[in-house]
Amino acid sequence: MTESAYHNPNPLAAAVVLQEKEFTQFSDLIYRIAGITLSTSKKPLVTSRLAKRLAHYGLRSYGEYFKMITSIDGKEELQMAVDLLTTNETHFFREPKHFDFLRQHILPARKLGKTLRIWSAACSSGEEPYSIAMLLDDVLGISPWEIVATDLNTRVLDMARRGQYPMERMSEIPKNYLSKYCLKGVGSQDGTLLIERKLRERIQFKQHNLNEAPPKLAEFDVIFLRNVMIYFDQNTKRQVVSRLLTLLRSGGYFLIGHSETLNGVNDDVRLIQPSIYQKP
């Protein structure tokens, strides 16, 4: 569907009320696509995030927008809606104990000469894979390693590929890494920092929906799936974790958020310490 078909912006779109039936349509849709559960408390979030799209197309109801994105020609706008409705909160070196475990236990035990492979399975705007990359480059030097970073949201993947972030984020990065791997913006780029090209080129950013079969990738030594299961119901958690574990090698590690657990979700991995599991 072309945007020219909807060219009259509606200045009142921001005031359009999201009806309960319409909210149910959107929540059911995002659950079917991404496995994400939207409680009724998220109704204001859905309203605010989609209001500009209604205004953009001059639509008078959220029902019209729903009909549009679920039409045969609405695939591109459907992805836009999914991008807007998926939450992406992250920062550099989030949950430092995971990076300590990676440095102190996983990296020293790796097989020399073999490429270490890590999957950031819900990478958001890229802070997690870039944090991992800084650590790997610092510790492993010229030893081979690979990072694959995936997310459902195409907008945050574009941000991740650029590797450019607000300068406020610099406080999250260790000072030695800041000077070694980050460039300070000047001129029109003032107020931003850019991850050095050699790290940007080492990470493969790909779109992937955790609610679908995993991409055809070789096995990984470590999989990060942090702070995303909180948006899933129990059945979706089981399915997602089961899919990802098919790509974790024997002896590999599976890292989740500190507020998350695999209790009642999966018995194929054993708990090493809170939020860190290992595949036998």
C-alpha torsion 56→86→155→259, nearest 10: 150
Is residue 233 flagged as an active site residue? no
- Which residue out of 53, 83, 117, 151 is catalytically annotated? 151
Neighbours of 104 (CB within 10 A): 10
Enter the tokens of residue 135.
Answer: 């650590």
| d(C-alpha 139, C-alpha 142), whole Å | 9
Inter-residue contact 217 to 209 (CB < 8 Å): no
Nearest to 255 by CA among 224, 227, 230: 224
Q: Which of 49, 94, 155, 169 is catalytic?
A: 49
Taking the C-alpha atoms of residue 17 and residue 206, their distance in angstroms, rounded to an integer, is 36
Q: Does the annotation count 190 as an active-site position?
A: no
Q: At what angle do helices 20-34 and 62-69 cross, to 10 degrees?
A: 30
Largest CA distance in the chain: 63
The rounded radius of gyration (Å) of the Cα atoms in the chain is: 21
Residue carrying the six token digits 């010229």: 142
Residues labelled catalytic? 49, 151
